Chain A
Amino acid sequence: MPTTLKPIESYRNDFSFRNSPEAIKRFPFPFPEDQYMYSVNIEPATPGAPGSVYEHWFDIDEHYRSEVAERAQVLSRDPDRCLVMPHMQQAAWDTLEMLMTHLSQDYPQWFSLQRDGDQWLWINRALDLQQAFTFGDASSLPYEPLEYITRQIQGDFALLDQRENNLWMDAGMVTGPADWSLKFDAGMSFTEWHAPVPMAHQMGVFDRALKYLMNIQVDHPVRRLNWTMTINPRLDTSSETFHEWGHERSSVTAENLAKLVHLRVELQFLARLPRSNALMFSIRTYLISLEELVTQPQWACRLHRVLRDLPDELADYKGLSQYRPLVVEWLRQFDPEMAACSA
């Protein structure tokens, strides 16, 4: 069924964001088992089933206009959420080319790209935009190339330079992160920007992941899912704004949690940028309220067990310790306590 783009809903203030029944059905529920622990859960990003979030490299869904509007709001207050170090110029153009190429191929109803040598014409019908520009000439675009294209797409982007046997976060557009800051982490190596993650270093997870990621080849991207929880459908849970949203975690009660508490899933997608040899790390975030989630009984059952058995260290790191007991207690009603959840 073709996606219909909704009118703009909000990820702040009145939080009018909601998932349609179709969006709930295609939500990337991240738990393949009743227990969760770290693993290098990376897989080749081969095209998924039609209509699923894995069908295309860059998923456009019903929230497209809302997410684009939210990004514009974040940038108007904090323009440095988009950052490109001078040596990442070519990676920025690579990203623009990859996004325009894939969007126009995968969603011809909204996007089109005409190329005549370095003279390009980009049409975005979903936002009613049209831009003729010279590829490689930043002055022919209203914004720097990474900012120009990522203002028209869902999800955050980090561009990783590959050198000295490591990956370096030297560019990005990050307006909706799960409690981290691009401005602080910019310039760090893979090991450094993952430093705050507990337990995984000792397990060797990052060493193995780094080796794997550095060998990603052109046209053979990979993906993985990550998750946390968020109060309200708030996309911008950055470190920058923590002092504005952190207090919401103590407002959770048994009465309001079904509407307030959201499972937040990141579909992380990594692709080699051909000309620059940099790595594109895109983080596409999906939010679902518990009220919406429990319409799928097998998810409700499994989430109950995962949250109940999650190690405290991980719950602390994910920032859900305060309200976890309430949520587990509420979810218990959906767990028939048979041997396994997957009905």
Chain B
Amino acid sequence: MSPSPIQVTVSRIESLTPVIKEFTLTAQDRALPGFSPGSHIQLQLPTPSRTLKNAYSLLSDPADLSCYRIAVRLQESSRGGSRYLHERVREGDHLQITPPANLFAPSSRAQHHILIAGGIGITPFMAYRTEMLRQGISHELHYAYTGGLTHAYVEALQPAPNGQVTTYDSRRGERMSIEQILSGQPLGAQVYICGPERLLQAVQQTAADLGWPEARLHWEAFAAPEPGQPFQVHLARQDKTLAVGADESLLEALEASEIDLPNLCRGGVCGQCVTPYLSGQVEHRDNYLPPSDQSRALMPCVSRGACNSTLVLDL
């Protein structure tokens, strides 16, 4: 059930910092679908070597469907998606996106929302804040960045009576104390984290130390799949063998051979692309499959085979 893509025009590109650009996407042939805070879209990027599909959070006002806005950080170690957006895409260009999906929605039951952002992880919280300020929902935002490099939207984030903002500029030696943030919170508090893996782990660790159950924590875990070793994959039912390159995911290699699997996050969390395998070594990199299922299924969006054995899929 892959939703049909939406054609958009890049109507505006703005450099927010030396490494972050904001892209405004406007619909061409139909109205843009509505979305809730925390939603993301997949952007199809026709790079010279192959078409990449990268997921980006929508940061614009959910009440404004005249355009979507996303912000992209140039990743030095990336597989080319962010570089393509930064260096090749121009205003007026046409791109394809998927409709919005939400794997990071605010909990309707929380009475106070603690938003913790690291660098480009601020993007989903831009939409959160717009909606929470409009509805008068109690929240606080903690935003860590590197001044002069990843300080996107710092000026735009004005504190409000029901929405404190605290910023932490690492250039000035300002450090976020997660323990201080989480201590003394009311019983109705829930935490949302979007940022680098080490920030997520630090919040998880502190929360666990303070006795917070996991159900109080929400995080945006997806990111572009990490490169790995090249490997071979054999499709048992179709009797077909494919080579997966070092900087492409198994899902991308399957799609390049016109085998379309359902997918939402392309980052090992949503569980849509789960695929059974028959033999071979698997490097499981997802956050979805329980260990009990890892001996027979894998998530091809992030997980990989080993370079010295052939992975045999039940496809």
- Touch test A–B (CB under 8 Å): yes
Residues of chain A at the chain B interface (Cβ within 8 Å): 44, 87-88, 90, 161-164, 170, 211, 215, 217-220, 274-277
- Please indicate which of the listed interface residues B1, B215, B264, B271 has the most CB atoms of chain A within 10 Å of its own CB: B1
A87 to B35, CA, bound (A): 18
Q: Is the CB of B105 within 8 A of A217?
A: no
| Contact for A276 among B36, B100, B264, B271, CB less than 8 A | B36
Question: Inside 8 A of B101's CB, which chain A residues have their CB?
Answer: 215, 217-218
B3 close to A (CB within 8 Å): yes
Q: Nearest chain A CB to B151's CB is how many angstroms away? A: 30
Query: Among residues 97 to 137 in chain B, which have CB atoms less than 8 Å away from a CB atom of chain A?
Result: 99-102, 105, 107-109, 135
Q: List 29 A-B contacts (CB under 8 A).
A: A44-B1, A87-B108, A90-B135, A161-B108, A162-B105, A163-B108, A164-B107, A211-B271, A215-B270, A217-B3, A217-B99, A217-B100, A217-B101, A217-B264, A218-B33, A218-B35, A218-B99, A218-B100, A219-B3, A274-B33, A274-B36, A275-B34, A275-B35, A275-B36, A275-B63, A277-B36, A277-B38, A277-B39, A277-B105
A276 to B3, CA, bound (A): 20
A240 to B288, CA, bound (A): 42
Question: Inside 8 A of B35's CB, which chain A residues have their CB?
Answer: 218, 274-275
| Contact for B264 among A44, A90, A215, CB less than 8 A | A215
Besides A215-B264, A218-B33, 18 new A-B residue pairs in contact (Cβ under 8 A), listed by A number: A87-B109, A162-B105, A163-B105, A163-B107, A163-B108, A215-B270, A217-B99, A217-B264, A218-B99, A218-B100, A218-B101, A219-B3, A219-B99, A220-B99, A274-B33, A274-B36, A275-B34, A275-B63
Question: Inside 8 A of B38's CB, which chain A residues have their CB?
Answer: 277
Q: Nearest chain A CB to B30's CB is how many angstroms away? A: 10
Question: Inside 8 A of A87's CB, which chain B residues have their CB?
Answer: 108-109
A162 to B101, CA, bound (A): 13
Question: Inside 8 A of B102's CB, which chain A residues have their CB?
Answer: 277
Q: Nearest chain B CB to A297's CB is how many angstroms away? A: 35
- Please indicate which of the listed interface residues A162, A217, A275 has the most CB atoms of chain B within 10 Å of its own CB: A217
B272 close to A (CB within 8 Å): yes
A90 to B34, CA, bound (A): 13
B195 close to A (CB within 8 Å): no
B62 close to A (CB within 8 Å): yes
Question: Inside 8 A of A164's CB, which chain B residues have their CB?
Answer: 107, 215
| Contact for A274 among B3, B34, B272, CB less than 8 A | B34
Question: Inside 8 A of B63's CB, which chain A residues have their CB?
Answer: 275
Question: Are A215 and B34 also in contact (CB < 8 A) when A87-B108, A164-B215 are?
Answer: no
- Please indicate which of the listed interface residues A87, A88, A220, A274 has the most CB atoms of chain B within 10 Å of its own CB: A274
A326 to B1, CA, bound (A): 43
Question: Inside 8 A of A88's CB, which chain B residues have their CB?
Answer: 108
Residue interface bits B245-288, CB-to-A below 8 A is 1, else 0: 00000000000000000001000001110000000000000000
Question: Are A215 and B272 also in contact (CB < 8 A) when A274-B34, A275-B36 are?
Answer: yes
In the A-B complex, the 7 residue pairs with the smallest Cβ-Cβ separation, listed nearest first, are A274-B34, A277-B36, A87-B108, A218-B33, A277-B105, A219-B33, A163-B107
- Which residue of chain A has its CB nearest to the CB of B271? A211
Question: Inside 8 A of B107's CB, which chain A residues have their CB?
Answer: 163-164
Residue interface bits B12-37, CB-to-A below 8 A is 1, else 0: 00000000000000000000011110
Query: Among residues 27 to 83 in chain B, which have CB atoms less than 8 Å away from a CB atom of chain A?
Result: 33-36, 38-39, 62-63
- Please indicate which of the listed interface residues A88, A90, A277 has the most CB atoms of chain B within 10 Å of its own CB: A277
Question: Inside 8 A of B99's CB, which chain A residues have their CB?
Answer: 217-220
Question: Inside 8 A of B135's CB, which chain A residues have their CB?
Answer: 90
- Which residue of chain A has its CB nearest to the CB of B100? A218
Question: Inside 8 A of A215's CB, which chain B residues have their CB?
Answer: 101, 264, 270, 272
Q: Is the CB of B62 within 8 A of A275?
A: yes
Question: Inside 8 A of B36's CB, which chain A residues have their CB?
Answer: 274-277
Q: Nearest chain B CB to A134's CB is how many angstroms away? A: 14
Q: Nearest chain B CB to A133's CB is how many angstroms away? A: 17
Question: Inside 8 A of B271's CB, which chain A residues have their CB?
Answer: 211
A2 to B306, CA, bound (A): 62
Question: Inside 8 A of A276's CB, which chain B residues have their CB?
Answer: 36, 108
- Please indicate which of the listed interface residues B34, B38, B107, B109 has the most CB atoms of chain A within 10 Å of its own CB: B34
- Please indicate which of the listed interface residues B39, B101, B135, B264 has the most CB atoms of chain A within 10 Å of its own CB: B101
Q: Nearest chain B CB to A189's CB is how many angstroms away? A: 13
| Contact for B109 among A163, A217, A275, CB less than 8 A | A163
Residue interface bits B195-214, CB-to-A below 8 A is 1, else 0: 00000000000000000000
- Which residue of chain A has its CB nearest to the CB of B105? A277
